């Protein structure tokens, strides 16, 4: 007896949000820990990487673009993630930039049009137009969230996670940020318990422009 084969679904399942700002192709952008920047606009960017992204749809990350006149520090929300074909390992995701003022928007448009940041003299601009544009990402340090060292084995991660769940679960913890702390702990553990995700995270962590420690007062340590 043959069963009915399940239908394959396309990723992502939710509707994609379209950027309104004009887009610029960025084939000269090199790869960075999250992937290769495919196009850039004053409102966001599209990134491609080989393998599943370590970020989740809806997560907010911090990025840095370097394109001549100095670094541009940006905050972006991962608006969507999709896989390029059912059997492909390549994924793409869209990033929506947040908290942009008019100056930042103008600088991003200038990078897209000219290949370098605005601000330098015409002579410098000509030289910078031949340079590559670099992007890096600031990575949150997940190990202190669980209170373990980066070389902690799987059983130590599991013990730390169970203790923090008992500490921060809203059913037993009356602190107002208990739910948020439990979510941070769970997110960190989901990444670090999976060998493939942990390997990709460690690679990103080792090559990131800046490692972000847990916020003061927000370290999810077990009591």
pLDDT, tens digit, 9 for 90 and up, residues 194-206: 999 999 888 888 8
Domain ranges across the chain: 23-138, 141-212
Question: Is pLDDT of 3 > 70?
Answer: no
φ, ψ of residue 188 to 5 degrees: the values are -60, -45
> What pLDDT was estimated at residue 18?
57
Instruction: Measure the CA–CA gap between 30 and 47, rounded to whole angstroms.
Output: 11
CATH topology of domain 141-212: Helix Hairpins (1.10.287)
Give the ranges where 13-101 is alpha helix by DSSP (H). Answer: none
- The region, left, alpha or beta by phi > 0 then psi within -120 to 50, assigned to residue 17 is beta
Q: How many CB atoms lie within 10 A of CB 6?
A: 6
The tokens for 220 are 């999810």
Of 113, 133, 112, nearest in space to 68 by CA: 133
DSSP H or E stretch at residue 180? helix 178-193
Instruction: State the pLDDT at residue 219.
Output: 44
CATH of domain 23-138: 2.40.10.220
**Which residues, 6 or more positions from 49, have their beta carbon under 8 angstroms from its beta carbon?**
31, 34, 35, 36, 90, 91, 92
| Least confident stretch, 42-46, 69-73, 102-106 | 69-73
């Amino acid at each position: 007896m043959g069963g009915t084969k399940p239908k394959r679904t396309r990723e992502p399942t939710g509707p994609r949000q379209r950027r309104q700002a004009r887009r610029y192709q960025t084939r000269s952008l090199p790869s960075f820990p999250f992937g290769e920047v495919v196009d850039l606009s004053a409102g966001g960017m599209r990134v491609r990487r080989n393998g599943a992204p370590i970020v989740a749809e809806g997560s907010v990350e911090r990025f840095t673009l370097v394109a001549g006149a100095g670094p541009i520090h940006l905050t972006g929300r991962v608006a969507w993630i999709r896989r390029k074909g059912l059997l492909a390992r390549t994924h793409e995701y869209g990033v929506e930039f947040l908290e942009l003022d008019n100056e930042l928007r103008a600088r991003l448009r200038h990078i897209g049009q000219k290949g370098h940041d605005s601000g330098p003299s015409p002579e410098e601009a000509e030289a910078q137009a031949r340079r590559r544009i670099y992007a890096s990402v600031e990575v949150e340090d997940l190990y202190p969230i669980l209170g373990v060292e980066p070389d902690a084995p799987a059983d130590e991660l599991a013990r730390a996670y169970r203790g923090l769940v008992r500490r921060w679960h809203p059913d037993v913890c009356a602190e107002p940020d208990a739910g948020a702390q439990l979510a941070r702990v769970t997110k960190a553990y989901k990444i670090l318990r999976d060998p493939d995700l942990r390997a990709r995270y460690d690679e990103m962590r080792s090559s990131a422009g800046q490692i972000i420690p847990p916020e003061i007062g927000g370290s999810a340590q077990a009591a």
